[in-house]
Structure 1
Amino acid sequence: MTTYIHPAEITVRRPYDVEGDWILFSTCNYRCGYCFWDEDALGAKIEPIAPVERLAGFFDRTELTWLLHLTGGEPFIYPDFVRLCSLLTRRHLISVNTNADSPHIRAFIDEVNPGRVDFINCGVHERERQVRRGTRRFVTNVLAMRSAGFDVFVSCVMYPDLFETFPELWRRYASEGVVVIPKALRGTHLGRRYPGGYTETERALFREYTARAAEFYAGQFGRRDEPPTVNPFMDEHLFLERLPDYRGDLCEAGHLFVRIVPSGEIRRCGPDDVIGNVAEHWFSRRDRASICDVLECPYFCEKYRLPPGDAGRRHAIASRMRRGPA
């Protein structure tokens, strides 16, 4: 069974009303050269905007069911992160993007219900992991979460100087039962823009090891109600040559999806459309799709834009837009 399904083809979704990409903060214990956060942001003092009880309470009070993608920075160094996850998963679903190099992962396994965790994406970040001698911790944590029933997969950002040694890296991790999925680099690295900056040789290697990983993960991904939103198997099909531009398309951002930034602001997507605040406990959810006007994360864009071929739905939404609110 394939591990890639285009988001437009998904007919069954898990039971949530709104998905939120929640960037808790920028602080991280790693310093990856390809990170979109700069050195100052990665080393910023951690200043929570509210106690975790108040943060979790906001989502409960909306009377909606949320799927919250918790990311950073490194989420596991956020104060009381495990407690936050425990509170959120009483009524909502979460997913986590982590480098899986934290002593708090054992507490997470013990305290959080894996049935309420949609997925955990564990990033290899090999250069930093070698510097910090964290390979054994990483493998142990990934296998422990998987054994406890969490839907865990492992990805690796393919920065250019990794390609020469990647086959050995892949073999070494695979021998431990940890299979790595290549993930496309997005943004500028050493003066070149990616993913457009990849050579054809690099793309060929990317595709080869994506196919190898797909064999390993086929059963795991096939058992899911829907693919993970941040699905690295999308990269080969959609993001390996260039990043798509969705501006001008109708999109469900603000209605079925929001972005939450470290200040607690809830945004439709980009910075110019604030529709709520987690710490201040207000949320003005949009009731319909609207036109995309910013370049943001392509995983969420692919999931929540209305495909051009979906003419009936686009026409119905356009008609509602002309009529105004009911």
Structure 2
Amino acid sequence: MNYVGYENICRALFYKKIAITKFGSKNIFNKDVLKINWMLTYRCNYNCSYCYGHDNDTGFFHRKQDILKATEKILDLNRSQFEFGLNGGEPTIAPGYLELLKLIATSTKSCSVVTITNLSRKESFFEKIAEMPNASSLRFHCSYHFEDGDFSRFLNNVKILADAGCYVKIIILAHPLFYYAVKSFTKAAESLSAQIKADCQRCDVVLLPIKEKDCNGFYTLLDQRYTNEYRSWLDEKTGFTKNIDGSEKKFLLMEVSDNNTKSIKSELVYLNQSILEKYSFYKFKGMKCMAGYNSIAIDPKGDLSPAVCFRGKKKFGNIFDSEPEFFPDGLICPYEYCTCSADYVLPKYKIS
């Protein structure tokens, strides 16, 4: 489905002309895929003023051997596919990160792994990743932060990973007080991405504005410090991304019911954050969600939750000292909003 069609569906949902009966990644429905969202540590080597995902005061690291043992425990589960997402804080500073990455990349099981990183480690660190077996199977979502980032090192590290065949997504956090630096860096990043693609490698650029909380406590409002000129430039640059690598597009199956005729229609759509927010299209309360079966979330203490949205609210064991338990029939979504893109893709069904 194209962008316009997707927006039409979202508009119809917003005005309650149709209702969702089924939603989620087409690659997960009726399959035993396990998505593992693993927050390795709260610690970060940056201290960005707008970040709420790190804690350098009480954050800690687990021992390398414990991390590797826990990973082997996950890979021993009877699943057809494992999709790891490593994040933090800054996951690359966690002890054993390189060994963890290698363990997943060289597993005989069907695995994928994406690391969400600020890409701030020295070039020699990422050269070790480039030399790993199956390095081309690794994916990196790399966010550039203007308060602490090193312009040259970041782009050098992007090239090291891309030259090794890794998929690299450059995510530019458009700080409201760094307008001209953001424009300059975006131009350089887009130029590098074009060069990498010309060499038949994979690299995309995404520009993300800084958001503030809305009345419901979710980060959907544009930071008020943006000038009108800056906002206009962002509007121009952050339209629907048509060139994202095919492996990165989230193809979602959306089945909807017409509220008048009751007819059922299925569509394939691309996940697009701006449209989701525009039409408040992340409301699945009361639907059955396959959180706890197709996904687990691991916090820095090792505590297990069914999905990111349940982290700290619904625990079912600890990856370091117990076997993971699952909810084969899924769970009923108790939340007014789905707040994490990692959870959007989980299969959801309307309960008749």
* TM-score, normalised relative to structure 1: 0.76
Structure 2 counterpart of 1:106, from 123, 127, 141: 127
Alignment of 1:180-259 (within 5 A): 180-188=205-213, 194-198=219-223, 201=228, 204-211=232-239, 214=241, 217-218=243-244, 221-222=245-246, 224=247, 227=250, 234-239=272-277, 244-259=282-297
Taking a change above 3 Å as real, the CA distance of residues 167 and 16 of structure 1, as seen in their structure-2 partners, is farther
Report the CA distance shift for 1:83/1:228 in structure 2 as closer, same or farther (over 3 A).
farther
Q: Does 1:32 align with 2:48?
A: yes
Mark the runs of 5 or more structure 1 residues left unpaired by the alignment. 307-312, 319-326
Q: Counterpart amino acid of 1:37?
A: G
Q: CA deviation at 1:32?
A: 0.9
Structure with the higher fraction of residues in strand conformation: 2
Q: Does 2:157 align with 1:167?
A: no
Secondary structure at the counterpart of residue 345 of structure 2: helix
d(CA) in 2 for partners of 1:45 and 1:293?
31
1:285 pairs, out of 304, 319, 326, with 326
Residues 268-296 of structure 1, C-alpha deviations (whole Å, 9 max, x = no match): 13123222322114111111222112456
Query: What is the CA-CA distance between 1:184 and the residue it aligns to?
Result: 4.6
The letter of the residue matching 1:195 is T
**CA shift for structure 1 position 106:** 1.3
The one of 64, 72, 79 aligned to 1:57: 72
**Deviation at 1:5?**
11
* In 2: Cα distance, 1:4 partner to 1:109 partner: 39
How far apart, CA to CA, are the structure 2 residues paired with 1:185 and 1:233?
20
More helix by share: 1
CA distance in 1, matches of 2:171, 2:248: 21
Residue matched to 1:44: 59
Deviation at 1:48, TM superposition (A): 3.5
Instruction: State the secondary structure of the residue aligned to 2:171.
Output: strand
C-alpha change, 1:38 and 1:304, in structure 2 (3 Å) is: closer
Task: Indicate conservation of the 8 Å contact 2:42/2:60, yes or no.
Answer: no
1:167: how far off?
A: 2.6
Give the 3-state SS of the residue equivalent to 1:95 in structure 2. Answer: strand
2:71 & 2:5 partners in 1: Cα distance?
A: 32
AA at the equivalent of 1:124: Y
**Counterpart AA for 1:155:** I
Q: 1:86-97, aligned counterparts within 5 Å? A: 86-89=102-105, 90=107, 91=109, 92-97=111-116
Identity %: 17
Secondary structure at the counterpart of residue 142 of structure 2:
strand
Q: Give the direction of change, closer, same or farther, for the CA distance of 1:282–1:112 in structure 2 (3 Å limit).
A: same
Shift of 1:165: 4.8
1:266–1:277 contact (8 Å) kept in structure 2: yes
- CA-to-aligned-CA distance 1:98-156 (integer Å, 9 cap, x gap): 11111321111212523543x31000112211xxxx21111111111111111111112
State the 1:241 CA deviation. Answer: 7.5
For 1:314, the equivalent position in structure 2 comes to: 350
C-alpha change, 1:241 and 1:209, in structure 2 (3 Å) is farther
Q: How far apart are 1:225 and its partner, in Å? A: 7.8
Q: Distance in 2 between matches of 1:182 and 1:162?
A: 13
What is the rounded CA distance, in whole Å, between the counterparts of 2:278 and 2:232 in structure 1?
A: 10
AA at the equivalent of 1:73: G
> SS state of the match for residue 317, structure 2?
strand
Q: Contact between 2:41 and 2:60, CA under 8 Å: does it hold in 1?
A: no
- Structure 1 residue corresponding to 2:340, chosen from 298, 304, 318: 298
Name the TM-score, length of structure 2 as normaliser.
Answer: 0.71
The 2-side partners of 1:8 and 1:251 are apart by: 9
Unpaired stretches in structure 2, ≥5 consecutive residues: 7-21, 194-202, 253-269
3-state DSSP of counterpart to 1:180: strand
RMSD: 3.6
Q: Residue 115 of structure 1 contacts residue 150 of structure 1 at CA under 8 Å; is this kept in 2?
A: yes
CA gap of 1:5–1:276, structure 2 versus 1, over 3 A, is farther
Does residue 120 (structure 1) correspond to residue 135 (structure 2)? The answer is: no
Letter in 2 for 1:172: A
Query: Taking structure 1 as reference, are residues 193 and 176 closer, same or farther at Cα in structure 2, changes over 3 Å only?
Result: same
Deviates more, 1:296-305 or 1:282-291: 296-305
Q: CA deviation at 1:188?
A: 4.6
Q: Give the 5 Å matches for 1:265-280.
A: 265-269=303-307, 270=310, 271-280=312-321
Larger CA deviation: 192-201 vs 163-172: 192-201
SS of 1:304 mapped into structure 2: coil
Q: Which has the higher contact order (CA 8 A, sep 6+)?
A: 2
Give yes or no for contact 2:34–2:293 (8 Å, CA) kept in 1.
Answer: yes
- 1:141 is the counterpart of 2:179: no
Letter in structure 1 aligned against 2:191: S
For the residues of structure 2 that align with 1:34 and 1:40, how far apart are their CA atoms? 14
